[in-house]
Structure 1
Amino acid sequence: MEASGAHPAVFAPVSTEGRVDAVVRRLTDAIALGLLADGEQLPSESELAGLLGVSTVTLREALVALRQRGLLVTRRGRGGGSFVRAPAEPEIGERLRAFAADELRDLGDHYTAIAGAAAMLAARRALPADVEPLWRSLREMADTDSPARLRRLDGRFHVEVAAASQSARLTREEIRLQADIGPLLWLPYDEPGGHDEATAQHRAIAAAIADGDPGRARELAERHVLDAIERLIELRLRLVGP
């Protein structure tokens, strides 16, 4: 599998506090979003520890925790190492029930700010090589009708927009938000005609970034998130009530 444009953010140094937990969270989020693909081999322990800015002891503790969660498998011997094991798809309806409508709106406000800033900076800073992952994700979305794969590709697209902003902090925040609510945001688009509408919005965002139009890119990204949040709140109220 071709590396995602978000890989540098996945393997960037973690925060100095609670480093084992930070490594576990970073890699768990990346696996959940498909940024680290099922079966993908992680860098060696020494290389990965260096990339994440942690000691090998800290890294090994984190890898043990990930293996216990069933997200990694370690193979010994020649050709061995740590390999990603993608989790089973969560029951999206149950995840939606865990959020109150006001929580979704609050998350949406925060996510709108992040997505808008990332798209604006991507339009200012991205080179053609930074934009190509966006088009690749859109091509892959057009070639599948699997709801689970569409959700993962939607998340990957938004992380790649953040990666194109050249801001490691924005990209890490986008990864965190996608892991929290990303799969839910695609849920309303599973309704008839939703896929085409979402694809049109994605293409417009990518085109604004490619054209170097920061204001348009920000406006489109913010509108896309706000529209998804409003639809999601309506869906939640319809499914589970206030």
Structure 2
Amino acid sequence: MSQADAGHAAHGADDRLTSLLRPVRAGNGFEEALEQILQVLRLGLVAAGERLPAERELADRLGISRVTLREVLKVLQDEGLVESRRGRYGGTFVLPRTGAPGEEELRRRLKGVDVEDTLRFREVLEVGAAGLCAAHGLDEEGAARLREALGRTHDAPLTDYRRLDTLLHLTLAELSGSPTLTAQYAAVRARVNDLLDCIPLLVRNLEHSQRQHTALVEAVVEGDAEAAREIMREHCAGTAALLRGFLG
């Protein structure tokens, strides 16, 4: 692509993204920024061979730091969606989309699944369980179980993280004192895990999740129901952003 063509393509991409990219919420900046840029690529608003807007402009539009933006772009590079080119006419360029080996499996898993309904129901159950545990209070045994489940997720190998993360959330559901909620949560979490297995495990996202987990457990143990509900709501929103970005 010539210098003039590259400049024209980049300007065209900027125009198309004006109404789409928006500042993310502070709590899930990485996840929501990734969701938005994945949506841009999925919609074809920046064609293969075209350059994304400059880092400074993208970061400003999304309301995130350039460090966070570079982590987002690294994920997109690792997934083979964009490539970084150096030099005077360099930047981040969109690569042609190719059929990924897991696309058939992804279609099978998504068939008959209402992703939005699953995510909303999961949020209702998770936020409800967190609020109930904090409002009713945990005895020493319950608090110890919750902290032990949290501890197992710390420094867990990537291959085992999702299982231990599931057990932490399931422990919270069980401690809510509602067997019906626990059963419903187990069912919806199984569907969520099927979807999560179709997207990559991102270290930045897991580190963020762990900070949220720690804050959540402390809020529950301290009996702060409002904080527990809000932390869990934000936590679920981060997961939902990733799933919408990759699967939407």
Give the distance between the partners of 1:165 and 1:184, measured in 2 at CA.
Answer: 25
CA drift of 1:163 comes to 1.1
Q: Does 1:143 align with 2:145?
A: no
Aligned residue number for residue 171 of structure 2: 160
Counterparts of 1:96-107 in structure 2, within 5 Å, are 96-97=106-107, 98-99=109-110, 103-107=114-118
CA drift of 1:106 comes to 1.5
Give the distance between the partners of 2:113 and 2:241, measured in 1 at CA.
Answer: 11
CA RMSD, 1 decimal:
2.7
| Aligned with residue 226 of structure 2, among 192, 215, 232 | 215
Note the alpha carbon deviations across 1:137-156, whole angstroms, 9 max, x for none.
Answer: 22212132133x11111111
CA drift of 1:168 comes to 1.1
Contact 2:146–2:171 (CA under 8 A) maintained in structure 1: yes
Aligned residue number for residue 212 of structure 2: 201
In structure 2, list runs of 5 or more residues that go unmatched. 1-100
Q: Does 1:130 align with 2:156?
A: no
Counterparts of 1:112-131 in structure 2, within 5 Å, are 112-125=123-136, 126-131=138-143
CA 1:167–1:92 in structure 2 vs 1: closer, same or farther (change >3 Å)?
A: farther
Aligned residue number for residue 84 of structure 1: none
CA drift of 1:193 comes to 1.4
Contact 2:118–2:191 (CA under 8 A) maintained in structure 1: no
Q: Does 1:225 align with 2:232?
A: no
Contact 1:185–1:229 (CA under 8 A) maintained in structure 2: no
| Aligned with residue 176 of structure 1, among 187, 199, 208 | 187
**Structure 2 residue identity aligned to 1:107:** T
Give the distance between the partners of 2:149 and 2:192, measured in 1 at CA.
Answer: 19
CA drift of 1:224 comes to 1.0
Note the alpha carbon deviations across 1:151-197, whole angstroms, 9 max, x for none.
Answer: 11111111111111111111111111112213534776711312211
Contact 1:124–1:214 (CA under 8 A) maintained in structure 2: yes
Identical-pair percentage: 24
Contact 2:123–2:233 (CA under 8 A) maintained in structure 1: yes
Contact 2:106–2:198 (CA under 8 A) maintained in structure 1: no
**Structure 2 residue identity aligned to 1:152:** R
TM-score normalized with structure 2 length = 0.53
Contact 2:146–2:168 (CA under 8 A) maintained in structure 1: yes
- Determine helix, strand or coil for the equivalent of 1:143: coil
Give the distance between the partners of 1:92 and 1:201, measured in 2 at CA.
Answer: 30
Give the distance between the partners of 1:92 and 1:180, measured in 2 at CA.
Answer: 17
Counterparts of 1:2-17 in structure 2, within 5 Å, are none
Contact 2:158–2:201 (CA under 8 A) maintained in structure 1: no
| Aligned with residue 190 of structure 1, among 160, 185, 201 | 201
- Determine helix, strand or coil for the equivalent of 2:110: coil
CA drift of 1:136 comes to 1.3
Give the distance between the partners of 2:225 and 2:200, measured in 1 at CA.
Answer: 26
TM-score normalized with structure 1 length = 0.54
Q: Which has the larger radius of gyration?
A: 2
CA drift of 1:130 comes to 1.0
Contact 1:112–1:225 (CA under 8 A) maintained in structure 2: yes
Give the distance between the partners of 1:196 and 1:213, measured in 2 at CA.
Answer: 23
